[in-house]
Amino acid sequence: MEHKDGFVVAIGASAGGLKAIRALLTTLPEHLNAPIVIAMHSKPASQLTEILKIQCPLKIKRLEDAETLVPGQIYIVPGATHAFFRDGRVRLSEPVRNSGFRPSIDALFMTLAAEYKDRAIAVVLSGTMNDGTRGAQVIYDMGGRTVVQNPDDATFEGMPRNVILSDHPKKILSAEGLGEWIAKAVGTTSSEPA
């Protein structure tokens, strides 16, 4: 079932992000009524997909180029690869060697905002620096919602704190609290997928 009219969630993380992602995912229901795309700064050989599959019972897969998003599915952006929302799909760049943050959370959020407008939900988790800050502002400007991990709950507070200082986050919660908020915001599918 293709996802055309509902919410789409994009999660950005960096240093300390694995712990936060795991905590957030543990609170999500099995049949979430939105796809989730997770981008964490990483090298080309990232094993994030495999690690999360072992630790989480939800449907998790490595994102493929031009993939159509399906509710209840969690997609992991491959390491050192930028991801862009376009025409109901997610496009991937070739692996990037020297381009600042890889994958770019700002690029992910900005294209999410352009594609889904008020149906876009951006989540900023633990990390250093400021990737995601510009993208969160675009999400806000386009009518979407940004939620942020409480800096006191994050292993590294830089990314969430920069969004709090520069943007208008809808909520500032623990990683678990963000998962609970997402579940309430998007709901679940009325029946189990085939």
Q: 192 in a domain, yes or no?
A: no
**Mean predicted confidence (pLDDT) in 33-38:** 97
pLDDT, one tens digit per residue, over 153-174 is 999 999 999 999 997 899 999 9
**Averaged pLDDT, 106-126:** 97
Q: pLDDT digit string (tens) for 93-103? A: 988 766 667 89
Is the omega angle on the peptide bond into residue 71 within 30 degrees of 0, that is, cis? no
Please report whether residue 1 resides in a domain: no
- Which residue type occupies 68? T
125, 12 contact by CB (below 8 A): yes
Dihedral sign for Cα 134, 35, 22, 59, please.
negative
For 139, the token pair is: 């999400």
- Is 104 contained in some domain? yes
How high is the pLDDT of residue 98? 67
Q: Tell me which DSSP letter residue 96 carries.
A: P
Amino acid at residue number 32: L
Positions marked active-site: 14, 41, 131
The domain spanning residue 65 has which CATH number?
3.40.50.180
Is beta strand 89-92 parallel, antiparallel or unpaired with respect to 83-86? antiparallel
With a cut of 50, say whether residue 119 has pLDDT above it: yes
Class of residue 170 by CB neighbours under 10 A (exposed 0-12, middle 13-18, buried 19+): middle
Q: Which pLDDT does position 3 carry in this prediction?
A: 52
The answer to whether residue 194 sits within a structural domain is: no
Quick check: is 57 in a domain? yes
* Residue 87 forms part of a structural domain: yes
Residue 63 is assigned to a structural domain of this protein: yes
Range of the domain at 175: 8-185
Q: Where do we find the tokens 């510009």?
A: 134
**55 pLDDT higher than 80:** yes
Tokens of 134: 């510009």
Cα distances (angstroms) measured from residue 153 to each of 51, 61, 176:
22, 27, 10
Question: How many structural domains is the chain composed of?
Answer: 1
Least confident of 92-96, 105-109, 130-134: 92-96
Q: Contact at 8 Å (CB) between 112 and 141?
A: no
Q: Residue type for 87, please?
A: D
In a domain, 3, yes or no: no
